[in-house]
Amino acid sequence: MAEHPRLLLHNFISPDQCKELEFIHRSCGVMGYRPGVLSTTLSHLIATGCPHLMLPFVPIRDTIKDLVEDFFSCHFDLFIEFTGLISWCKGASIGWHSDDNRPYLKQRHFAAVCYLNSYDKDFKGGVFHFKDGEPASIFPVAGDVLIYTADSCNIHSVDEVTEGERLTLTLWFTRDSAHDEDAKLISLLSQRLLNNEDNNPDPYLSVPASDNMYWFSHGHNQLGFDLRCARVHILGYNLCSTNNKECKVSDSSYEELLVNPLRLSRGDKILGKEFANSLHALQVVQFYYWKAHELKVARKGRNSTKSPQASLLEKTSGSDLVLPGDPKLAEDVLGCLSHDDMLNSFDWDDFALAIATWEAYIGELHKDLVASLPHWVKHQIIYLVGERQCLM
Ligand SMILES: O=C(O)CCC(=O)C(=O)O
Ligand SMILES: [Fe+2]
């Protein structure tokens, strides 16, 4: 094996897989392990009531594991130690390091970084560099995957992100079965699904994590914003009270509003539908953002009486929830150029169709999860059981 064992492959993940993982991260991501870094781990998806959103990861994890085992000639020898979506916002960077450079990371033997969006198009900065050997610099392109050993043969760094949000799917692999992520996830899943059967009538809905996981703080001067609200605002929506009445809250209780039913508004209209909480609303907003083009085409091709129509209310002044946080900072940290297309093509009836299609999508994933889990438990490994249905 070469002095610097590594491989860069182009177009390994399809554009739609990239978009689906982006949808999951923008709906479920929380503050990560370093300032300016957000993450969505599989255990977080389980803990927040979205275990079904693990399914899109499953075939991708499988093929990346095969690739790593092939390239490093260690068939049937590896366990996945960590799978997560990681985004780096404006200001984030990392200096020279190897991925096993802490005593508690010694079990990491190989790394795989899959780029889910692209340098210069979706973000600026964020170029990856190896200290020695070739390729020396990697300019992320959506769909590309980079694999390398986690030891000091592959010391690397990432330049500061100067604009936009740089998104990757990152996996680490280990030879040590004690660090097998699958065994831990399967145990969490079994507990969660068994408990849910009894007391959760609606198993698809997100359960928010603790509030501080959504608070993006910037610097030492207390500036910051709530990620859930910021992600909704950036796409042009507001969160509203359910009764269309003025609702102002003190900073200490705003979290309360985000875990209770609410509505969505845009311009001078409020959508009649009640969402269970801010994460439910956010997930639908992000789903529409992901599928906007297909939804428009699907609705035009259908008989309009059959297509869902949005029930809209006039907004009364002050019905938007007034929440703490700095919207300018949120726009600066999370805003990106590609949002503009969305702002121009918005349509409430497409949005109503997005709600119905999201429900079908989540229902399908949930069914697949329930069917897969007994196989995962039996074999103690997470793998693709059957084919995934394509909705559109
Ligand atoms: O995102 C990347 O390109 C690499 C990130 C990295 O080096 C790390 O998370 O250890
Ligand atoms: Fe690294």
What's the ipTM? 0.99
Kind plus residue range of the DSSP H or E element containing 97: strand 94-97
Strand partners for 271: 312
Which of 93-102, 192-201, 255-264, 329-338 comes out lowest in average pLDDT?
192-201
Whole-number average pLDDT of the chain? 89
219 and 308 share one domain: yes
Angstrom distance (rounded) from CA 248 to CA 93: 37
* Cα 99 to ligand 1 centre (Å): 8
Does 96 fall in a domain?
A: yes
pLDDT number for residue 197: 55
Look at ligand 1, atom 7, and give the residue with the nearest C-alpha.
157
Cβ of residue 161 lying under 6 Å from some atom of ligand 1: no
Q: Is the pLDDT of residue 1 over 70?
A: no
Which of 7-21, 204-218, 225-239, 269-283 comes out lowest in average pLDDT?
204-218
Domain count along the chain: 2
Angstrom distance (rounded) from CA 163 to CA 348: 30
193 and 230 share one domain: no
39 and 94 share one domain: yes
* Cα 40 to ligand 2 centre (Å): 17
Q: Is the pLDDT of residue 59 over 90?
A: yes
Q: What is the pTM of this model?
A: 0.94
Angstrom distance (rounded) from CA 170 to CA 344: 33
50 and 156 share one domain: yes
Which of 130-134, 219-223, 248-252, 356-360 comes out lowest in average pLDDT?
248-252
Angstrom distance (rounded) from CA 1 to CA 140: 25
By CB atoms closer than 10 A (0-12, 13-18, 19+), residue 245 is exposed
pLDDT number for residue 124: 95
Reported as a single tens digit per residue, the pLDDT across 266-319 is: 999 999 999 999 999 999 999 999 999 999 998 888 776 778 888 988 887 778
131 and 193 share one domain: yes
Cβ of residue 117 lying under 6 Å from some atom of ligand 1: no
321 and 295 share one domain: yes
pLDDT number for residue 260: 85
248 and 308 share one domain: yes
Q: Is the pLDDT of residue 222 over 90?
A: no
Q: CB within 8 A of 127, min separation 6: which ones?
A: 119, 137, 138, 139, 140, 158, 159
Residue 281, SS3?
A: helix
Domain that holds residue 85: 6-200
CATH number of domain containing 74 = 2.60.120.620
Percentages (nearest 5) of helix, strand, coil residues in the chain: 40, 20, 40
pLDDT number for residue 343: 66
